[in-house]
Amino acid sequence: MSYFRTAILLAGLTALFMGVGYLIGGGTGAIIALVIAAATNVFAYWNSDRMVLSMYGAQEVDRSSAPELVGLVAELAGRAGLPMPRVFLIDEMQPNAFATGRNPENAAVAVTMGLVHSLSREELAGVIAHELAHVKNHDTLLMTITATIAGAISMLAQFGMFFGGNRDNNGPGIVGSIAMMILAPIAAMLVQMAISRTREYAADNLGARIAGQPMWLASALVKIENAAHQVPNVQAEHNPATAHMFIINPLSGQGMDNLFATHPSTENRIAALQQLAAELGGRGAGPSIGANENYPRGGPWGRSSTRRGPWG
């Protein structure tokens, strides 16, 4: 999806927010809703990264605590022409990852322990490159704003249930209030998901080009998708509004490419990556990611039964 269409969806989300405000308080309510939306976005712009990282208990790592992981991120960031982002580890066994931050200069990449222990170095490179593609495309700010407005619409609709039930006060009435409480969050969710799903395809494509091998990411997506069926992400279940930030939906393994999916189907994403690999042909291989004797072919942590983890 183009940025123009994404902007239209964002405008629709803001208009929906104002519409709910109008139903509650008329013209004054719409203006108040617009002010709230603006304030919410300003707050999200400056604090979204800290909020989501704290929510998942992410711990920042550096070259001394996680040399292989941080080195890989640095190499890929250099290929992408990006400043070095902060790197975080999440104590979560479900393999997954996300990026956050208001711009490339203030970006962060967070990966779970399950991810670094279950993927090869090449697959991990594909995932990190995907997240860096989100940073380069400024998706991290876009997704945070949509999540914030969607959440605010849900709260505003519930607020309207208590204060919009009297038609004499220009409210929607009790029936209208109930309908608003149900339909407004659903409409916001649909717009939020539509934006999220389209940006995943773009990040897959650019991330595959950054890593140099589309099939590295394809292989990683298969592993992460399979694990999502089996390993619950408890924190994500408590904060479902953040599900769209992850590379694979952490809430369920359902990959149906429909209005109610936070991500495109993994099958469709892999098919697109396979097509990209065919188009790139020999050019798709690119230089090997950090190929040297320090990184065994089994991945950055080696093939031993006791994996040491990303800290060496």
Query: Residue 308: inside a domain, yes or no?
Result: no
Query: Residue 288: inside a domain, yes or no?
Result: no
Query: Residue 292: inside a domain, yes or no?
Result: no
Query: Residue 30: inside a domain, yes or no?
Result: yes
Range of the domain at 50: 3-281
Burial of 295: CB neighbours in 10 Å, binned 0-12, 13-18, 19+: buried
Q: Which of 92, 131, 200, 225 is catalytic?
A: 131
Burial of 294: CB neighbours in 10 Å, binned 0-12, 13-18, 19+: exposed
Rounded (5°) CA angle 200-201-203: 65
Query: Residue 113: inside a domain, yes or no?
Result: yes
Active site residue 267: no
- What does the alpha-carbon distance between residue 148 and residue 100 come to, in Å, rounded to a whole number? 14
- What does the alpha-carbon distance between residue 139 and residue 182 come to, in Å, rounded to a whole number? 28
- What does the alpha-carbon distance between residue 85 and residue 94 come to, in Å, rounded to a whole number? 23
Query: Residue 58: inside a domain, yes or no?
Result: yes
Give how many domains the chain has, as a whole number. 1
- What does the alpha-carbon distance between residue 195 and residue 203 come to, in Å, rounded to a whole number? 13
Pick from 294, 303, 305, 311: nearest CA to 120: 303
Query: Residue 112: inside a domain, yes or no?
Result: yes
How would you write the pLDDT of the chain (312 residues) with one tens digit per residue? 456 655 666 677 677 777 777 777 778 877 887 787 777 777 777 887 888 899 999 999 999 999 999 999 999 999 999 999 999 999 999 999 999 998 899 999 999 999 999 999 999 999 999 999 999 998 887 777 776 666 666 666 666 555 554 444 455 555 555 565 666 666 666 666 666 677 899 999 999 999 999 999 999 999 999 998 889 999 988 877 788 889 998 986 454 454 456 788 899 999 999 999 999 885 554 444 554 333 333 344 433 333 444 444
Query: Residue 293: inside a domain, yes or no?
Result: no
Structure token pair of residue 15:
């208009």
* Sequence-ordered strand ranges (E) for the chain: 59-61, 86-90, 97-100, 108-112
